[in-house]
Structure 1
């Protein structure tokens, strides 16, 4: 009898834990939907001035995908190519530094196919850039770490790029530039804004498992009652 009660209690405990996981996924879903709404609002809003140096220390993920615009002059330095995969296939993002009144900002000018990389030259002169603010990516990418010594880049780590190219202080973000009419490569405007939102499926799975475990506990208790009868 005691063993039966203990087993039923353990089953109920597991049911409670599984139900708690289901509730957590419901809360995560609400958070994800709110995040999507905020990002969509940023994408639809008019472009605002890119954050200047006084605001660099406060830049975080909440600023990602904000439409910004900035005016400056290109630095005469070779582009930095970071590995990328787009609908056009494998290739690179071409990043170049732009000197602005608010500090130096790395601009992702767009995608370059692998066989076109050598033809890409540094931009020159003044420029006005509009695009999406993206937070620096210091953790590498494609399951590989950046290798500044060999000029191999798998993510857009603004601080590491600045050190490797001796650019001085740069913004802790970069800007994915919009497409420029008439310019084939680098091709801007390819930022993919997509959020996985499977939380409802996960929640239903946890709730189903909790129900099964609760039913198991009930059957154990019911079996004890029949035995007592």
Structure 2
């Protein structure tokens, strides 16, 4: 084999090695592509779940009020099967055991007023009677809004909120509450046979200067389609890059360079009558 052939083979081999990415890079790229596609599919599934949830909650909220679950079924009450059900119940408020939970609403900052409702069967249910601003946190400022005797309350069933709010834990010993933690409030107020949920009172349950009811916000962010499109877009961008990096060489065109026979190095590269034609990859 001539010296020219040896040099040409070495150059071609070097270009081939340079064009072939490392195995770990190939595996990593394909794994990332599969992962991005899986994330997009997962977001599509999450979107279907969220739409079903929104539809289910809308039906519960706007349905006629039904009696709350019986005490025997309380252990089975869950967010999936019961939260935001429109319910009704009767009893007598225990105003001396109310609890104020910090809140921020469309009315501004203030407190939710949670008051136990003593029912005829001896069980108790915490009622979120509604919102009061900070200047009316003292019960003496709204005595005419605290009904005596038996009342009927309609509202939305809500699931307990244990521990506290965002980055703020409840401090029962100092009477500082940041979430509606039924079990903790019941223990702090000496309540017994308490339902494991509470009820957000409707606006129609308000009386006199009492708390403002009906402020429950029922909202479920649904950005899953945007997330899915983002993951799919990233996957196809990566696929394009993979194609260019790993498959582009398959479609490389060859160019033909013609050197004049009288060139300074033509003699060294001439191997036959057509020695003036050299084939090189682009």
- Shorter-chain TM-score range: over 0.9
1:28 aligns to 2:46 (yes or no): yes
Task: List per-residue Cα deviations over 1:49-105 (Å, max 9, x = no partner).
Answer: 011211110011021100000011222523200000001110000011001145200
CA contact (8 A) 2:92 2:117 kept: yes
Shift of 1:168: 1.4
What residue ranges of structure 2 are gaps of 5+ in the alignment? 1-16, 255-280
Q: Secondary structure at the match of 1:41?
A: helix
With the length of structure 2 as denominator, give the TM-score of the two structures: 0.76
Instruction: Using the TM superposition, give the Cα deviation of residue 123 of structure 1 relative to its aligned residue in structure 2, in angstroms.
Output: 4.4
Asked whether the 8 Å contact 2:147–2:207 carries over to 1, the reply is: no
Q: CA deviation at 1:139?
A: 2.8
Q: State the shift of 1:183 in Å.
A: 3.3
Count of aligned pairs between the two proteins: 229
Deviates more, 1:74-83 or 1:155-164: 74-83
Aligned mates of 2:57, 2:27 — CA distance in 1:
45
Which whole-Å deviations, capped at 9, do the CAs of 1:165-211 have from their partners, x for residues lacking one? 10113111000001136534300000000001000000000000000
CA contact 1:75–1:124 (8 Å) conserved in 2: no
- Alignment partner, residue 70 of structure 2: 52
Whole-Å separation in 2 of the counterparts to 1:90 and 1:25: 35
C-alpha deviation, 1:109, in angstroms: 0.4
1:93 is paired with a residue of what secondary structure? Answer: strand
Q: Is the deviation greater in 181-190 or in 91-100?
A: 181-190
Q: Distance in 2 between the 1:113 and 1:88 partners?
A: 8
* Alpha-carbon displacement from aligned partner over 1:116-135 (angstroms, at most 9, x marks no partner): 11124554321100000000
Structure 1 stretches of at least 4 aligned residues deviating more than 6 Å after TM superposition: none
Gaps spanning 5+ residues in structure 1: where?
Answer: none
- Computing the radius of gyration over CA atoms, which structure comes out larger, 1 or 2? 2
- Taking a change above 3 Å as real, the CA distance of residues 123 and 133 of structure 1, as seen in their structure-2 partners, is same
Instruction: Check the 8 A contact 1:91/1:112 in 2, yes or no.
Output: yes
Higher relative contact order (CA 8 A, sep 6+): 1
Determine if contact 1:8/1:218 at 8 Å carries over to the other structure. Answer: no
Task: Identify which range, 40-49 or 174-183, moves more after superposition.
Answer: 174-183
